[in-house]
Chain A
Amino acid sequence: MRTEGTTSRMRREVHDTALATEPSKSAVRGPGQRPTTTRTVLRGSGLLLLCTLLFLLVLLSIWVGTKGTSAAQVWHALWRDDGSYTTDVVRQLRLPRTLVGLLVGAALGVAGALMQTLTRNPLADPGLLGVNAGASAAVVFAIGVFGLGDFIGLVWFSFLGAAAAAVAVYALGASGRAGPTPMRLTLAGAAVSAGLGGIIAGLTVFDAATYDYLRFWMVGSLAGRKPELVLDLAPFVLAGLLGALLLARSLNSIALGDELGKGLGVHINRTRGLTVAVVTVLCGTATAAAGPIGFVSLVVPLVSRWLAGPDLRWNLPYCMVLAPVLVLGADTVGRVVLPEGELEVGAVTALVGAPVFIAMVRRRRGSAL
C-alpha cells in the first residue's frame, strides 16, 4: 500500500504541474465552451505547416538513397511504370518503406498520447502495456520453438504477441475493485514485461540462431519492407487512428480526474478499456512491422502537447503528423549518415530524441514535463 501511495502521488504531482504550467487552458474548459477563434486559427495553421513539412519529407524519403538518382527521375517513376531500374527501386523499395514509416510513425505517436492520458503520466509509453515484450516474446517463440522463418508470418505472430500481452496486462490491472487505475496498469505492465523478459532471455541464451534474429529485430528498422506489408498494415492503423479520434472527447474529460469525468457523463472503465484496445492495435501493428522503435511515442506527445495544448482533439492530429515527421526524418538521416550501410531508424530516433527530451527537461526546470 505504501508502494502504491507514494508512487502514484509522485506521478500525480508530475501530472498536476504539467497541466498547471501549460499555456493553454482549453482542457479546463467545459465541453460546451469553444476555444477562442484565434487559437483555433493558430493551431490549424500550425497543423497545416506540419502537414506540408511531412509531405516534403515523404518526397525526400522516396528520393534519398544509396543509389544516386535524380529527383526528376524519381518523380517520373512514381507516376509511370516504364519498367526501368529506377521505377523498380522506387516502387518496390522506397515507396513501401516510406509508407510503412508513415503508418508506423502515426500509430506510435497517437498510441503514446493515448497512453500518457490514460495513465495520467506524461512519461508513459505504450511499452508499459507490455506490447514490446509481448511482440519480442512472440518473435522468439515463432523462430525458436515453431521454426517460423517468413517475414509476413513473423509480423502476424508479433502482432498477436503484443495483443496477448496487452490483454494480460489489462486483465491483471483491472482485476481490482477500483478497476484499471493508472497505477495498477503501470504495475501490471511492469510485471508482464519482466516475466516475458526472463522467458525471452531463457529461450535465446542457448539458441544462437534465434538470438541472431532478435538482435536485429530489437533495433527497430524500416529497411526491406515489402509493398504487401503496407496493405496488411494500413487497415489496422487507420482503424486505430479513427478509434483514437472518436475517444478524444471522453479522454479529455477523464484527464480531469475520475470524479469529474464521471460527473461529465463519461463511462470511465469503458473508455479505459477501449483506449487500451486502440493502443494495442496501433502499437502492436507498429512494433510488428518495424520492431520496437523507441522514443517516438514518448517524445512526440510531449512536443505536441507543448505546441497544441492538452486538448486531445488537437493533440492527436498533431501527433499523427509530428510522429511520422520524426520517423521518416530519422530513417532518411540514417540512410545517409554512415559512409557505408545504414543506421537503423530506431537508433536514430533515440540518438536524436533523447537529447531533445533531456534539453526540454532541463529548460523547463523539470516541472513542466
Chain B
Amino acid sequence: MGARVPARSVSARVGRWSLRVHRRTALLSASALLAAGALLAVSLCTGSYPVAPSAVLRALFHGTGDRLAVHFVNQERLPQALLAILVGGALGMSGAVFQNLSRNPLASPDVIGFNSGAATGAILVLVLGGGAAPVAVGAIGGGLVAATVVFLLANSGGLHGVRLILIGLGVTAMLGSVNSYLLTRSSLHDAQNAHIWLIGTLNGRSWGAVQTIAVALAVLLPATLLLGRQLRILEMGDELAQGLGVRVNLTRIALTVLGVGLCGVAVASAGPVPFIALAAPQIALMLSRSPGVSMLSAGAMGAALLSGAHLFSGQAMGWFAAIGLVGEQQQDSQLPVGVTTAVLGGAYLAWALFRRRRSTQG
C-alpha cells in the first residue's frame, strides 16, 4: 500500500492510564465527530415540515415559537438525530472490535449470529404483539442466546477463528430460515412491522431510546477504548502478546463481550442497520492511514455515516415523489435508514473494488 507515514502520535495521561493516539487518527476522529454534529444541526431544520435555523434555536433553548416546530424539533428530530450518532458510533466500534479480533476485514457482529438471533427475538415479540420496549428486550435476548450458542459450540478446544465463523454461518442460516418461516405465519400487519424493524429504522424513536443507549454506552465506550489498546498488542500474535503481559484469552473474551454489547444496544435501539459496522472501521483505516483499526475513529466514522444516512432518508421520499418514483401520498413518509445504508454499502463495496482495479495487487 505504498510508503506508510511514520507513526506520529499524541498521548494523554490520566493517573496510571495513558492513551496514545496516532495523530492522523485523532484528527480524523475529531473531524468525523464535527461532521456528525453538523449533520445533526441540518437534520433539525429539514424534513416534511421545514423549520428555520432561528426557530430551531428558539425551540431548543426556550421551547417557544410555532407549536408544531417545537414538537418536531424537540420531540422527534433531536432525539432521532442523537440516536443516529449514538447507534452509528456503537456499530462502528463493534465492527472494529470484531474485525480486529478475527483479523478479517469483512467480519461484523453478524458473524457470530448476533443479528439473526436478535431478529428472531424481535419477530417473536412483534408477532406476539409487543411494543417498542419489549421488542428491544426480545432482540437483545435473542441476540445473546444466539451468540452464546455459537460460542459454546465453537469453544471446545480453543476459540479458533475459522471455526467460529463457520459455526456462526450455520446458526445464522438456520435462524434466517426460522425468521422467514415466522414471517409467513404471522398476519401481514405484524410481518410488515417486523420487516421494517429488520431493515433498521430510527423513525418514531423518542427520548426513551436515547436515554437507554446513552446509559449503556457510558459503560461500554470507555471500557472498549481502554481494551482497544491491548487489541493492538494481540495483533502481533498470541505468543508475543503473552510475553508482553497481556492475558490473551481473558482479553479476547472481554472484547467479544464488549463488541456484542455495543452491537446489542445499537440493534435494540434501531434494528439491524446494515453496513455501518462493516464499513466504518475500514473507511477510518483508509483515511487515517494508521497501522490498525482504531476504536475511536471507527466509532466517530460510524456516527458520521449514520447521521448522513439519516439525513438523506428523511429527505428521500420527498425527492422520489418529485421525480414520480413514488406516489404523492407517500411523500411525507420517512424511508427507514437501513434502506439508505444498504444501498450505500453496495456502492461502497463496488467503489472499493473499482479503486483496487488500478492497483498492482488488483
Asked whether A10 and B162 contact (CB < 8 A) given A346-B177, A347-B177, the answer is yes
- Interface residues in A328-369 by Cβ distance below 8 A to B read 343-344, 346-347, 349-351, 353-355, 357-358, 361-362, 365-367, 369
**Using a CB-CB cutoff of 8 Å, which residues 176-213 of chain B contact chain A?**
176-178, 180-181, 183-184, 188, 191-192, 195-196, 199
CB distance from A368 to the nearest CB of B (A): 11
Q: Is the CB of A7 within 8 A of B105?
A: yes
B162 and A366: CB pair below 8 A? yes
User: Is B345 close to A, CB under 8 A?
Assistant: yes
Chain B: minimal CB distance from A301 (Å)? 15
Q: Is B247 part of the binding interface, using a Cβ–Cβ cutoff of 8 Å?
A: no
A215/B353 contact (C-beta < 8 A), A206-B333, A358-B167 known: no
Q: A194-B274, A202-B335, A205-B335 are in contact. Are A211 and B343 (CB under 8 A)?
A: no
Q: B54-62, B153-161, B296-304: which one contacts chain A?
A: B153-161
Number of interface residues of B (CB under 8 A): 64
Cβ of A82 within 8 Å of any chain B Cβ, yes or no, is: no
Q: Are B156 and A362 in contact, CB atoms less than 8 angstroms apart? A: yes
Do most interface residues of chain A lie in helix, strand or loop, or is the interface mixed? Answer: helix
| Nearest CB of B to A199, in Å | 7
Is A303 engaged at the interface, CB distance under 8 Å to the other chain?
no
**Cβ–Cβ contact A184 & B346, under 8 A:** no
A357 contacts which of B170, B336, B341, B359 (Cβ < 8 Å)? B170
B1 touching A1 by the CB < 8 A rule? yes
Are B166 and A369 in touch, CB under 8 angstroms?
A: yes
Given known contacts A205-B336, A294-B177, is B282 in contact with A361 (CB within 8 Å)?
no
* 0/1 interface trace, chain B 323-341, chain A, CB 8 Å (1 if under): 0001000100101101111
**Pairwise interchain contact B346-A191, C-beta atoms closer than 8 A:** yes
Residues of B within 8 A of A343 (CB): 181
Identity of the chain A residue whose Cβ is nearest the Cβ of B313 in the assembled complex: A202
Tell me whether B174 and A350 are in contact (CB under 8 A): yes
Task: Tell me how far the C-beta of B196 lies from the nearest C-beta in chain A, rounded to whole angstroms.
Answer: 6
- For window 269-308 of B, CB contacts with A under 8 Å fall at 274-275, 282, 285
C-alpha spacing A365/B326, complex, angstroms = 52
Known: A5-B361, A202-B335. A194 touches B342 (CB 8 A): yes
CB distance A211 to B176 under 8 Å? no
Q: Is the CB of A6 within 8 A of B160?
A: no
B350 and A215 form a contact (CB under 8 A):
no
Closest residue of A by beta carbon distance from B149: A358
Inter-chain contacts of B356 with A (CB < 8 A): 1, 4, 176, 184
Distance to closest chain A CB from B150 (angstroms): 9
Are A362's CB and B177's CB within 8 A?
Answer: no
Instruction: Tell me whether A202 and B191 are in contact (CB under 8 A).
Output: no
Residues of B within 8 Å of A358, CB to CB, are: 153, 167, 170-171
> Across the interface, do A175 and B339 meet the contact criterion of CB distance under 8 Å?
no
- If A3-B105, A194-B275, A212-B188 touch, whether A350 touches B357 (CB-CB below 8 Å) is no
Find A347's partner among B105, B160, B180, B352 (CB 8 Å cutoff): B180
Q: Mark A207-235, 1 if CB is under 8 A from B, else 0.
A: 01001100110110000000000000000
For residue B227, give the distance in angstroms from its CB to the closest CB of chain A.
21
Q: Which residue of A lies closest to B330 (CB)?
A: A206
Q: Is A261 an interface residue (CB 8 A)?
A: no
**In this complex, what residue of B is CB-closest to A216?**
B184
**Contact present for A188 and B174 (CB under 8 Å):** no
Least distance between A210 CB and chain B CB atoms (Å): 11
Q: A144–B166 Cα gap in the complex (Å)?
A: 36
**17 pairs across A/B with beta carbons < 8 Å?**
A1-B356, A3-B282, A7-B106, A123-B169, A173-B353, A176-B357, A184-B362, A194-B349, A195-B347, A198-B346, A202-B339, A204-B195, A205-B335, A205-B339, A344-B184, A346-B180, A358-B153
Task: Mark B residues whose CB is within 8 Å of A.
Answer: 1, 103-106, 153-154, 156-157, 160-163, 166-167, 169-171, 173-174, 176-178, 180-181, 183-184, 188, 191-192, 195-196, 199, 274-275, 282, 285, 326, 330, 333, 335-336, 338-350, 352-354, 356-359, 361-362
Q: For the A-B complex with A195-B346, A219-B180, A366-B166 known, give 8 more contacts whose Cβ atoms are closer than 8 Å.
A: A194-B346, A198-B346, A201-B338, A295-B173, A350-B173, A353-B173, A354-B171, A361-B170
Closest 5 CB pairs of A and B: A195-B346, A366-B163, A198-B342, A350-B177, A191-B349
